[in-house]
Amino acid sequence: MKKNLLFLLLLSAGRLVAQTGVETYPVDPASIEQAGVPKGEILKFVFENSKIFPGTSREISIYVPAQYKETKPACVYVNQDGIQWKAPVVFDNLIAKNEMPITIGVFITPGKVLSQNTDGALDRFNRSFEYDGLGDNYARFLLEEVFPFVETKKTTDGRAIRLSKNGNDRAIGGSSSGAVCAFTVAWERPEEFSRVFSAIGTYVGLRGADRYDMLIRKYEPKPIRIFLQDGSNDLNIYAGDWWKANETMERALIFAGYDVAHAWGEGAHNGQHGTAVFPEAMRWLWRDYPKPVTIGKTKNPFLNDILFENEGWELVGENYGFTEGTAVNAKGEVFFQDIPNSKTYKIDVNGKLELHLADSKNASGTTFSATNEMLTAAGVWSQHPIHQVHRYKSSKEYEVLATETPGNDLVISFKGNVYVTSPDGREGSSKLFLIKPTGERSVVDEGLKFANGVCLSPDQTQLYVTESTSHWVWVYQIQADGTLANKQRYGWLHVRDQDENAWSDGLKCDREGRIYVTSLSGIQVMDQLGRVNAIIPVPKTKGQVSNLCFGGPDFDVLYISCHDKVYKRKVKVKGANNFEKPIKPSNPRL
């Protein structure tokens, strides 16, 4: 009741803005120095050795609470734009009353590239680049550079500074662009940062943060708790409406099942309201600590139809050169290629992993026919390409189905028509081959920028092809003779901020007609109309997810190849198999 009353008082006070133009807020006792409360110390340093933001110089202030003991790593709060919110005083008081854990504050100013010109030239101000952009640069900056730097320091009485490496022990906050930066860090690395304070957040069209409300709705939820603050007199300029953007963020977070609270008022684009609510935000973010921040339940029907709660990715195998070509046979056995090492592996229905082909001819694509024969596209990525399609009757016996066919991926229909993608680094030079059951081979399309993955719709009337160097998935209508017609840009994919394209690769369909596309953003799931309804993140690896298939006896285990690793995950849906009779899915929702 006391906390709810504080929110009502803050909102009531914010209404004075419209009448008087002056913002007045009640002062939380935690924002005032209290007699007898142990005071932490603040250490100040300059950091100039960033490799992620080269040439920059910035100040780093470290708050160390009086209660900190070097024998136990402390929780961490990171704040952009240096010390704000009267944070050291607030921390002193909240820690003393056990309303937040013993926490070391790391307050960082944005970087500047200092001018080398003696004639008074301006420094380069890096704030918008570092704060407003999406992607993991700033998260990496904290984890790889700032935290190690902080841990080289000691308090004035000689205590070593040790920061917890548990994401549940880390919070991050900021105002305006600094708030967007805080959310981005947690969004990119939820396993490293789980609590976010966002004041007058700049979720507008400066460097792409206006996409967050849409991405939040589509992505599988992440373990993040967030407190939002904004006022209705915030900015409304060329980049967007800050107030409406923050409201939209809140609605998206609620839709996606996040643990979110807010303090709305009528303030302007300044730190006054944020300072007033900061103590309560800290209490709320750290409530029930050390209980972990949990993942909520989304209202996205696509995600709920596909994923089980509390069912994550499980490692199947690792330490390969580069994994690709995941495919399943009629038994539910899963096969994948290790291209550089020219080997094919099999995962049986009991999960046992074994070598299937000791020499795969550097195969990349894999598919299975209605007669349970394995077909591979071989040699295109080797140093000595052979440009062949092979058909295996067993692991020891194969025949050359086609020569002079530089294939990357392939699929065979129930009728026996084989479609092979042939990417080419030159723009518009990719080809799509058709190999008929008679052995006749022809080029049925060319001109895509980088034709890569290929699969059939469940009813085998449509052919989907990924174009890696764009954000499109293309669709073709399959004619009675196996040729293609009515080519069209079809699936619109999301592109990460740091990339120039989606780099879509392998793709497969489930029996309801959903299309699962591997990309730099994870697995993007499209409906039958080519709209991405959901995005499933994949485990962090050195490279992206390259391909996928539905394996197991019931074809309800999603297998993915991720650079040097292979993972699996139990799902609610079942894969549509090209070696089975075509399935007609239900009509799409228009």
| Local confidence band at 14 (pLDDT 50, 70, 90 cut-offs) | very low
Please indicate, yes or no, if residue 86 is contained in any of the structural domains. yes
| Local confidence band at 119 (pLDDT 50, 70, 90 cut-offs) | confident
Interval 450-499: pLDDT, tens: 999 999 999 999 999 999 999 999 999 999 999 999 999 999 999 999 89
CA neighbor of 300 nearest in space, from 562, 551, 514, 585: 514
pLDDT of residue 89 exceeding 50, the answer is: yes
Q: What is the mean pLDDT of residues 340-358?
A: 97
For residue 9, the model assigns a pLDDT of 43
Interval 260-269: pLDDT, tens: 999 999 999 9
Q: Cβ of 569: how many Cβ atoms within 10 Å?
A: 20
Structural domain count, the chain? 2
Amino acid at 23: E
Radius of gyration of the chain (CA): 28
Query: For the domain that residue 537 is a member of, what is the CATH number?
Result: 2.120.10.30
Interval 140-151: pLDDT, tens: 999 999 999 999
Please indicate, yes or no, if residue 308 is contained in any of the structural domains. no
CA neighbor of 420 nearest in space, from 398, 395, 387: 387
Interval 317-344: pLDDT, tens: 999 999 999 999 999 999 999 999 999 9
What value, to the nearest 5°, has the Cα angle with vertex 225 and ends 221 and 230?
110
Structure tokens at 84: 């704000």
Query: Are residues 325 and 280 located together in one domain of the fold?
Result: no
Query: Are residues 245 and 320 located together in one domain of the fold?
Result: no
Identify the sign of the CA torsion 568, 572, 578, 580.
positive
Please indicate, yes or no, if residue 310 is contained in any of the structural domains. no
For residue 19, the model assigns a pLDDT of 44
Rounded to an integer, what distance in angstroms lies between the CA atom of residue 433 and that of residue 406? 9
pLDDT of residue 3 exceeding 50, the answer is: no
**Phi and psi at residue 9, in whole multiples of 5°?**
-65, -40
Query: Are residues 266 and 409 located together in one domain of the fold?
Result: no
For residue 426, the model assigns a pLDDT of 60
For residue 11, the model assigns a pLDDT of 46
Own/partner contacts of 16-21, CB < 8 Å, gap of 24 or more, are 16/266, 17/231, 17/233, 17/265, 17/266, 17/267, 17/268, 18/233, 18/266
Q: What is the mean pLDDT of residues 124-150?
A: 97
pLDDT of residue 168 exceeding 50, the answer is: yes
* Residue 444 vs residues 408, 414, 422, 558: alpha-carbon distances, Å: 16, 19, 11, 31
pLDDT of residue 12 exceeding 50, the answer is: no
Please indicate, yes or no, if residue 304 is contained in any of the structural domains. no
Please indicate, yes or no, if residue 584 is contained in any of the structural domains. no
Dihedral, CA of residue 373, residue 377, residue 382 and residue 384, to nearest 10: 90
Please indicate, yes or no, if residue 68 is contained in any of the structural domains. yes
Query: Are residues 263 and 410 located together in one domain of the fold?
Result: no
Instruction: Supply the mean pLDDT for the chain.
Output: 94
State the pTM of this model: 0.94
| Local confidence band at 118 (pLDDT 50, 70, 90 cut-offs) | low
Please indicate, yes or no, if residue 404 is contained in any of the structural domains. yes
Domain of residue 268, residue span = 2-286
- SS3 label, residue 409: strand
Please indicate, yes or no, if residue 298 is contained in any of the structural domains. no
Domain endpoint, select from 271, 286, 301: 286
pLDDT of residue 54 exceeding 80, the answer is: yes
| Local confidence band at 501 (pLDDT 50, 70, 90 cut-offs) | very high
Interval 90-106: pLDDT, tens: 999 999 999 999 999 99
Query: Are residues 275 and 406 located together in one domain of the fold?
Result: no
Query: Are residues 419 and 355 located together in one domain of the fold?
Result: yes
